[in-house]
Amino acid sequence: MTGVLSMYKKSLTGIIFLLAGMIAFSPALYSSGSVPSEGDMAPNIILRDTSQNLVFIKKYLKKKPVLVSFFFVGCKPCEREIKELERIKKSHGSKIEMFLISTDKEGAEAVRPYIKKQGITMRVLTDEYNDIAGKFKITKYPTIVIIGRDKKIIFRSSGNPEENISRIESMLKKGIR
C-alpha cells in the first residue's frame, strides 16, 4: 500500500510541475507579439488622468480620431514634441482628440508639476505600470500613435519630433477619419 501511495504522490507532483511549466511558459502570458503598427487594430486604452478620473479612449473615437503621445518627465525630445502638439491642438483641435500618456513610475505625482511648469493644456493620462505602453510595445520616446475612428492605427512613429509633427500636420490638412 505504501508503494502505491508513493507512486501516486510522484505522479501528482509530476502533473503539478508539468502544469506549472505550461502556465509559466504560456505564449499568451509571455508572447512577444508584433508591434502594433499602421493598419492594425489599436489596443484598448483605459487609464486615469492626473485627477484620477478613468478615461476610456474608445468613447472619443466615436467622434474623431485620437492622437496619443507616450512620454516621460525629463525626456527632452518629448518636451519639444509636446510644445508642437500643443500648437497643433490650437489649430486642429476640432479634427482630432489629443492625449499625452505619461509612463513615469511615480504616476500623477510626478506629472502634475511638469504639466504646470510646461503649460500643458492637453489631457494627461498616467500609465505608471506601463500596461498600455506594454500593449503598444513602446520602446522609444516620444512615440505618437494616431487611432482612427475605426479603431485602427493610422499613424505610428517614435523619436524625431520635428518629422512627426510635419507628417501629422500634413495628415490633418488632408483630413483623417
Q: What is the span of the domain harbouring residue 105? A: 35-174
Looking at the fold, whether 3 and 23 belong to one and the same domain comes out as: yes
- Nearest 10 degrees: CA dihedral of 2, 7, 10, 13? -90
Under-50 pLDDT residues of the chain: 4-5, 8, 12-31
In this structure, the answer to whether residues 56 and 69 fall within a common structural domain is: yes
pLDDT in tens, 2-27: 554 455 455 544 444 333 333 333 33
Are 11 and 41 within one domain? no
Q: Do 1 and 83 belong together in one domain?
A: no
pLDDT score of 6: 52
Query: Residues 152, 39: contact at Cβ < 8 Å?
Result: yes
For residues 16 and 69, membership in a common domain is answered with no
Per-residue pLDDT at 2? 57
Peptide bond between residue 142 and the one before it cis (omega within 30 degrees of 0): yes
* Domains identified in the chain, total number: 2
Note whether 140 and 108 are same-domain residues. yes
What is the model's pTM? Answer: 0.80
Tell me, yes or no, whether 106 and 26 share the same domain: no
The answer on 166 and 107 residing in a single domain is yes
